[in-house]
Structure formats: C-alpha cells, structure tokens
Amino acid sequence: MGKLFGTDGIRGIAGQTLTAELAFHVGQAVAAVLTEEKGSRPLITIGKDTRISSDMLEAALMAGICSVGGDVMPLGTIPTPAVAFLTVQQQADAGIVISASHNPYAYNGIKVFNAQGYKLSDEMEERVEELILNHAELPAAVDGAVGRRHHGMHALHSAYVQHLLGSIDCDLTGLRVLVDCANGAASATAPDLFRALPLQADFIHTEPDGVNINNGCGSTHLESLAQGVVSGGYDLGIAFDGDADRCLLVDEQGNTIDGDKVMAVCASELKRRGKLSGNTVVATVMSNLGLHEYCRENGLDLVCTAVGDRHVLERMLADGFAIGGEQSGHTIFRAYATTGDGELTALQFIQAYCEAGVPASELVSCCAQY
C-alpha cells in the first residue's frame, strides 16, 4: 500500500487531509503518467457523489488534468460502478471517482480506474504517487495542447441505466419495492432505473444537500427503510450506500438481507441458469458460517479471500468465477461489471426473488446467520 493510495484510493477529510491542491496535483500526475504510457493526449472520465466537497475536488482534478494536456469527460453525480462502465464504453484511458463511499459527508476520496474499468495497477499508482510526493515540475500545456472538457452527461447516465436494464429478464409484474438512495449518488440514477421496470417503486432519502449523505439512511442505517417496508406492505426494501457500489436489502418483515444472503440466493439462481462458472462463490474471511453451510448443502464451492472487494475481484479474475462479494453488501457480477455495483445487485436479487415465487423472508431463510 502506498503513502497516498490505500486499498480504495486516496481518502481523507475534505479541506484538511484531502485538499483542492492535492486533487489538482493528482489530476496532473494521473494525466502525465497516462500521456507517457499512451504517447498522446489521454481522455479521463470523472464522476462524483453528493458530498459538499465533491464539486471542489472535481474542479481541481479537471484543472490539473487539463493543465498538462489531458482531456476530461465529467459524468456529474453518478454511482462509482457507472464510472467504471462508462470509462470502458467511452474508450477513455482512465476514470476517476470522487467519493468516500459509506463514510460521513466530511470525508471524501479519489479513486482511479484503468481503461478496462479495474483498479489502477499498483505500478501506475506508485508512479502517480512519486510525481506528487516529489513535487515534480510537470511541463504545462500551452496553446492548442491545453486539455479540453467533453460533454454528454445526460446521454451517458442513460447509457448506464440501459446497461443495467439489460442484465435481467423476468416478469416483475405486481412487485412493490421501497428504495433508499442514502441521499447519495443513487439519487441520480435509481429513480430512472426502477421506473423503467414493470414494478411499483417508491423512494426515500433522494434529496441530497451536500451534508446528508449516509446520515441515518442507506445501507449502513437500515432502520427507516425497514420501518417503511413493514408499514407500507412492500415486498422488498433496497438500500444503497453513498456511491451506490453496495446494496443491502430488507425482507417484507423488515429483517436485514446482508451480502452473504444475497450471494447465496444469486449464486443459486446463476447455477439454475447454467451461468455459475466453476460452480463457485468467492467471499471473504468475514463471511458468516451460515454461507459456508449453505454452499456445502447446495453443492456450491466457496472460496474465501482476505477482507476487501479488491481481493475478491482478483480471485474472480484469476479463476474466471462469476460471483463474489462481501457481507457488507459489495457484490460483483463479473458478466456485467468490473466492480461492485449496488443497483446491479438489486436487480439480480429481484430476478432471483421473482423466479422463486416465495416471500423474501422465506427465500433467504435457507442461508442461516450464526
């Protein structure tokens, strides 16, 4: 692990340890390293969550990138996995996410994806860090070499939503769901996504004000969602975190459906459809013994990695496995995404739920929690 980049990018308190000045230099360094690799002007996408500091950091990153001759494609407020997807779709050279995920609003972060939608390699991170920490004087772009800003934000949001819609194929008629957007990035995409489906979806915590992200809501605070599901008679409750790369659910009785239960249900559905490559689920050492027992009893192989979705993904890629994740709600479906995607996870669980034809509490009861 580097001095700046942790397991999930650069994190800190905005304005204190994560400043606009640092973001400017990160933008410069990333663009400079990509220019050296590519031999020509790089294109970098940037997406952000709803924290009050995200606009400041976005502006600084964009200025840094353009100052050394890189082009920028701002995606606006959008989930982390959407940045990974659109970086690949738009054939960009890298994608940057401004978010601190499930943390309080005062924190923020800078995470970089490569052109394939995966985490930037350790080698490239080290080169970026070296330029920043050594205060390297990078040559400024002048005249026609100055970087440009690309447009098309609304169309790109729609492209991501359409990609998610293409991941399921089942009858959703009559389904009623309550969706908690955590006053975060899902507020920008989840309403369009769920309203495009033949089900009834209602939403809570979709009015971000810069400081209410994850505040008493979302996947880390399921109380209001559970209460709303029970009082409103919904079939399911769906909760995202601030950057919508995690998803947890609640059943019709208000009980939590954690990442282990999501993986158990979705892996069995993949197996039923003949899409569970290697007949294997990849989890971490934090997974409950109930998941181990479920896999044993249902003829599934379970592989456990160190904690962290990056370790899960590394094992999935190494052995070609289809599904993996963490108890906390990061679930990776390799057929559709290069990283954890909360909205994709919600759709995959809904599909398994509709195919099962039983209440959610009954569906997940097969995977005990000890």
Catalytic annotation, residues: 101
SS3 assignment, position 223: helix
How far is it, in rounded angstroms, from Cα 339 to Cα 332? 6
SS3 assignment, position 211: coil
Please give the single-letter amino acid code of residue 270. L
Please give the single-letter amino acid code of residue 197. L
Q: At what angle do helices 20-38 and 122-133 cross, to 10 degrees?
A: 130
Structure-token pair, residue 42: 């790089």
Distances (CA, A) of 114 to 201, 209, 347: 34, 31, 26
Strands 176-180 and 200-204 come out as: parallel
Residue 149 · residue 62 · CB < 8 Å: yes
Q: DSSP alpha helices (H): ranges in 320-359?
A: 342-356
Question: Nearest 5°: phi and psi at 179?
Answer: -115, 125
Distances (CA, A) of 295 to 6, 225, 333: 32, 29, 18
How far is it, in rounded angstroms, from Cα 149 to Cα 367? 49
Distances (CA, A) of 14 to 120, 265, 317, 318, 331: 22, 39, 34, 36, 28
Residue 42 · residue 29 · CB < 8 Å: no
The owner of tokens 């559709």 is 336
| CA-closest candidate to residue 47, choices 84, 93, 10 | 84
